[in-house]
Amino acid sequence: MDEPKVTGTKPKMSWTRKILLILGFLSTLAAIALITVAVTQNQPLPKNTKYGIVLDAGSSHTNLYVYEWPAEKENDTGVVQQVEVCKVEGPGISGYSHDTENAGHSLVQCLRQAQGVIPSKQHQETPVYLGATAGMRLLSLENKNAADKVLSSVEKTLRSAPFNFQGARIISGQEEGAYGWITINYLLGNFKQSGWTKLLHSLKSVSETSGALDLGGASTQITFVSDESPSESPENLLYFRLYGKDYRVYTHSFLCYGKDQALQQKLARDIQSTESNSIHDPCFHQGQLYVMGEGNYEKCRRSIQNLFNKTSCPYSSCSFNGIYLPPLQGDFGAFSAFYFVMNFLNLTNDNPFALDKVASAVQSFCARPWHEVKEAYHQIKEKYLSEYCFSGAYILSLLENGYEFNKENWQRIHFLGKIGSSDAGWTLGYMLNLTNMIPAEEPAAPPLSHGSYVGLMVLCSLVLVSVLVLAWLLFHKPKCLQKGIV
């Protein structure tokens, strides 16, 4: 660097000095930011886990789910997760219509299991909900008195458990559809609307949420966001505001179109239409049935098709039985028996199979003789095994003939059992709603996470260190070298 000449004007500052000055200024700012962040953001948060219990009283059986979440993140999306599931022994609670007193007792063992999972000091504050679905809807239509007694029995047992009892009731088909839709979208992180996700969603013109397809034993639900406006059937529409966004959701629940009820409907039709005496056999108990299998997939599909009345539709488009169905929109998560059956048939794997491949896989399974199937899958419950052929064909009929999925949009169906550690189903959405854990508006930006805090620390330190190293290099070099630089 040249010696400054003594003149009347101020000496000109060199570029190096200017840069150093700016860097020095920036590093001072960085240090101030660092201290501010350290003081305001790095307070340790108390670790407090909360729990909730939901019993899914389905038509075939009852499942008890235990969920947990960090108390301080209650309103975030995707923080609640399933930590335990307990399958109640015996039939669903609607199966106790002739033994109503014992419906509650059947739940005792699973409630004990939940007591083991949740720390005892938190039992009292842990809410417990029971929601009964289509089995109880049917019982209530057939024999209201028996349904009420079953509900009183389960309520008595749940009240006597050490948890915070919040109610036992029959949920409507609409609720079942809506809560299933909320569950999967919550777990898939589709309600997250902050930062990059928001930007991505605005760039992509794809649907932001996933539709929900739930197949139970007694009913089945279809639920998805529909932009079709105005709706021809307002009773199928639900409006939600979740995390600051409005959703217009179509849902319908078909009672008696769960796979067990559909099989009964089909068998009843078989009996009516048969000429042969073999199906009316006096040597079997009343109500018991002997079925001679034929293993004919094509014929099976044709006989199932008769369950869907496609002849009259008072709207522009229908699924079946004159029920409005707007155009299918977006991807779909298909769970419960949709998943159990397709998983058994090895047809899930995020659905890479074309529709005709799926149909031929079901066809070959149906064609296998029963003795061979029994031997190959001896570990599987015989009731399920004997029905997988029907169930596979029924699922294809419902999706293809009922909802009119086709080979183009088939790939948009994803068969899923779990998302992370949580089962796909209506229970999580039900609990999130009843505990007010889904805010209508987007929660305020959370304080800096520990990771971001450490990242910021490292970045600021690096800036400081580089400034110092640079300064040292510039000012502590031999004079001849410095001359060369400037």
Ligand X SMILES: Nc1ncnc2c1ncn2[C@@H]1O[C@H](COP(=O)(O)OP(=O)(O)O)[C@@H](O)[C@H]1O
* Residues flagged as binding site: 217-221
State the number of CA atoms in the 13 A half-sphere of 225 facing the CB: 18
Instruction: Output the smallest distance, CB 261 to Ca ion, in A.
Output: 12
Q: How many CA atoms lie within 13 A of 303 on its CB side?
A: 23
Cα 393 from chain centre: 25
Our CB check for ligand X shows the closer of 52 and 135 to be 135
Question: Is position 259 an interface residue for ligand X (rule: CB under 6 A)?
Answer: yes
From residue 189 to residue 218, what is the string marking binding to ligand X with x (rule CB under 6 A)? ---------------------------xxx
Q: Which does 63 bind (CB under 5 to 8 A by kind): Ca ion, ligand X, none?
A: none
Show the site string, 394-433: x = touches ligand X by CB under 6 A, - = not.
----------------------------------------
Nearest Cα residue to 307 out of 393, 211, 212: 393
Residue 183 and residue 209: Cα distance in Å, rounded?
11
Residues 217-246 that bind ligand X (CB under 6 A): 217-219
Q: With respect to Ca ion, which residue has the nearer C-beta, 65 or 69?
A: 65
**Binding partner of residue 59 among Ca ion, ligand X, none, CB cut-off 5 to 8 Å per kind:** ligand X
**Residue 126 binds: one of ligand X, Ca ion, none (C-beta under 5 to 8 A by kind):** none
**Shortest Å distance, C-beta 380 to ligand X:** 8
Longest dimension (CA), the chain: 125
Give me the 32-61 binding string for Ca ion, x by CB under 5 A, dash otherwise.
Answer: --------------------------x---
Query: Residue number with the shortest CB distance to ligand X?
Result: 216
Question: Which residues are catalytically annotated?
Answer: 176
Residue nearer to ligand X on the CB measure, 260 or 400: 260
Cis peptide, bond prior to residue 230, ω within 30 of zero:
yes
CA dist 25 and 125 (Å) reads: 53
Q: Which is nearer to ligand X, 258 or 326 (CB)?
A: 258
216 binds Ca ion (CB under 5 A): yes
Tell me the DSSP string of 75-142: TSSS--EEEEEEEPSSS-GGGGTT-GGGTTGGGHHHHHHHHHHS-GGGTTT-EEEEEE-HHHHHHHHH
Cα–Cα separations (whole angstroms), residue 46 to 49, 52, 67, 71, 437: 10, 20, 20, 9, 20
